[in-house]
Amino acid sequence: MKKIFILLFSLIITITISACTAKEDANLLKVSSSSEKLVGENYKTVISQLEKIGFTNIKTVVLDDLVTGWLTKDGEIKQVEINGKTSFSANTSFPKDSKIVVTYHTFPKKEKSDTKSTSEPRSGSSAESNQEILTAKNNKDLANLLAVKNELDPIVSEFAKKYGGKTIEFDGNIANKMPHENYKTRYDFLIRVGDYSKTSAIGPNFKFQDVNVSDLHLTGSKIPENIVEGQNIHIIAKVVEYNEKQGLFFLEPISTQIR
């Protein structure tokens, strides 16, 4: 009789532990991406993904620190914190009611309204003249820039400082394409002037940094399935800045057409 009692007691304990474990497992959810990969993604997309997984306590922190939005995009995530942890791996388990704080970049409210009001300049205004596209034919400085034989020529830095924010247009080529950091669909494109060549190159080391293929705004009748090294392109882009230490001239693509 004593043995039967012991067996029954052990069985009850086992069932109780199993039930508690099952309940505990049901309360745990796995994140699909690491904290590192979430940085740079759009906050709305990430929040939607977290909600689909089942997390219920998601908050946001807004950093209204953007000025141009060229290198860091509006809505781009700076950090995701889960229960105080800002570093975690993919498939890490957290309770479904964990406090999640998504911190992202955006424009100050005043600058957002200013940007909207200047997007449709009045006829004859200075804003309208700023929209003029510079080409080698209508701007001697751009013609000289595109013809430099040394990508570190002082002309490059001078042009970037003088024409920051202006729009330029020229024929170029994709000299190199690399994934941006650890992303699979975001890239860094090295752009050189003229037709592609493995043995020679002219002009500055132009760069489209941290862009999706969709960010290139492909136009024309020859839109390829893939954008690869060696393709000749016609570019309309905005001047961002020149990094003298890296020797890179950053541009924001406005329109890209395969030649």
Tell which residue, 12, 80, 98, 87, has the closest CA to residue 41: 80
User: Using one digit for the tens of pLDDT, what is the confidence trace for 15-51?
Assistant: 555 444 445 577 899 999 999 999 999 999 999 899 9
For residue 159 the two structure tokens come to 């042009």
Domain 30-109 falls under CATH 3.60.70.12? no
* pLDDT of 79 over the 70 cut: yes
- CATH topology identical between 30-109 and 131-258: no
β-pairing, 248-258 vs 202-211, is parallel
Element (H, E) at 248: strand 248-258
Q: Are 192 and 203 in contact (CB under 8 A)?
A: yes
Q: CB within 8 A of 18, min separation 6: which ones?
A: none
CA distance 207 to 250: 5
Query: What is the predicted pLDDT for the residue at 231?
Result: 96
Q: Where are the domains of the chain?
A: 30-109, 131-258
CA distance 63 to 77: 10
User: Which has the minimum average pLDDT: 108-117, 125-134, 204-213, 240-249?
Assistant: 108-117
φ and ψ at residue 146, rounded to 5 degrees: -70, -15
Q: Residues, the chain, total?
A: 259
Neighbours of 86 (CB within 10 A): 12
Q: Which CATH fold would you assign to the domain 131-258?
A: OB fold (Dihydrolipoamide Acetyltransferase, E2P) (2.40.50)
Query: What is the predicted pLDDT for the residue at 124?
Result: 38
Among all chains, which residue has been given the structure tokens 């004859």? 124
The DSSP bridge partners found for residue 239 are 251
Tell which residue, 189, 218, 217, has the closest CA to residue 205: 189
Q: Are 238 and 252 in contact (CB under 8 A)?
A: yes
